[in-house]
Amino acid sequence: MTRRYSVVLGLAALVVAVDQWSKFFIRRTVDLYESIVVVPSFFQITHTRNSGGAFSLFAGADDAVRVPFFLAVSLVAIVALLYFVRSVEPRRWSLLVALGGILGGAVGNLIDRMLSGQVTDFLDVHWHDYHWPVFNVADSCITVGVLVLLAHSFLTKDPV
């Protein structure tokens, strides 16, 4: 296995472990829809379940359509990410880290969908009454990874 796959798969495994442990911990210690204030008017732990995608996309869709759709999209994304790793130069560690985070996040949420058809979310960021949708560790890693990829594509002239 090449160095680039070692970095991506190692980080992805770490993300999956932290993501699944944090979701397990929340499901065991915080009642569904319970909120625990961490920083008043800014951050709380709120145990929710999301049957849809990002921002609850397709959450109201029938299970017979929604679950296979998200499983298929996740699997296609995982294969595409692994294929893309081949084209990244080993010296581009920031891209490899970004891909590892995205891959780990995709796998973490895929595990939830396979086990229960929904994803456990619990990180609740808000400014007084203005709330960002509740998210989890996997979502965070996907978001940061995508932002790194976008920054690289806009800020450098070098190919991957």
Check if 121 is active-site.
yes
Pairing of strands 35-39, 43-50: antiparallel
Q: Which of 31, 121, 129, 158 is catalytic?
A: 121
- pLDDT value, residue 1: 56
Check if 158 is active-site.
no
Q: List, for residues 116-157, the tens digit of each pLDDT value.
A: 888 999 999 999 889 899 999 999 999 999 999 999 989 887
Percentages of the chain per state (helix, strand, coil), in multiples of 5 = 60, 15, 25
